[in-house]
Amino acid sequence: MPPSKSIVVPNALLRQSLFSIERVVGPIGLNAVLRKSGMERFLMNLPPEDLAPSVSSADYARLNQVVEDLYGRASPMILRHIGETTFAHLLLPSLPIQNMSTLAFVACSHQEKNVQILRELANLSEQLNPEWQPTIEEQANHIVYTLDDCPICIGRFSQTPICHVYAGVLTEAVRFATGHLPSVEETECVAMGYPACRFEIRDRISRTIELGSNESILEPARTGS
């Protein structure tokens, strides 16, 4: 079932998204994004930091579309970075991080830490909007994070996954929990015609082994001296 365009994005999330856009592309870039997306009302007047309804998911999706339109091939990297800063400045302060400083948590494997932080993130998403109900599924060497009502791609059409902001959020969440940069790949997207957006999260070491590489992708290739 496709997500409803009437689903709303709360003020706090839109506010932090706009802050994140400004951090990445600067105030002039933010102004251009707001004007082109029809959100001029937020110029010099950001929404308050509360959970009251702010804009529809369709409006929020258009905001992301405008970033893609303005920045072209650089937009996936920009949008991922926007997602990373959104996690760090909005979502992280709201997570029960005291649970992640216990000896029991420290002793967990990367996979177990990933599952815990992603579950906390899913719970927080439901607090921001009860319509957002992500699911988490553990596989042998990766985790599947699925979101039916994705506010990033609603009403959009694409031949490739476009939820780069959400991928950035997931990347920063796992990096916070484990101290390691994960591989986060969106394999299915509502904009591509799938019923939900599906992300696969795994350690980069596992990803290297799956690719059959004899040399780590985290290190530059050795050259002759």
* Nearest one of 152, 171, 172 to 162, comparing CA atoms: 152
pTM assigned to the model = 0.82
Architecture of domain 96-210: 2-Layer Sandwich (3.30)
pLDDT per position as a tens digit, 94-112 = 777 656 666 566 677 777 8
* Nearest CA among 156, 140, 104, 147 for reference residue 124: 147
Tokens 């001296």 correspond to: 225
Instruction: Give the pLDDT band of residue 219 (cuts 50, 70, 90).
Output: very low
- Structure confidence by residue, pLDDT tens digits, 26-60: 999 999 999 999 999 999 888 998 888 888 888 99
Neighbour count for residue 109 (Cβ, 10 Å): 10
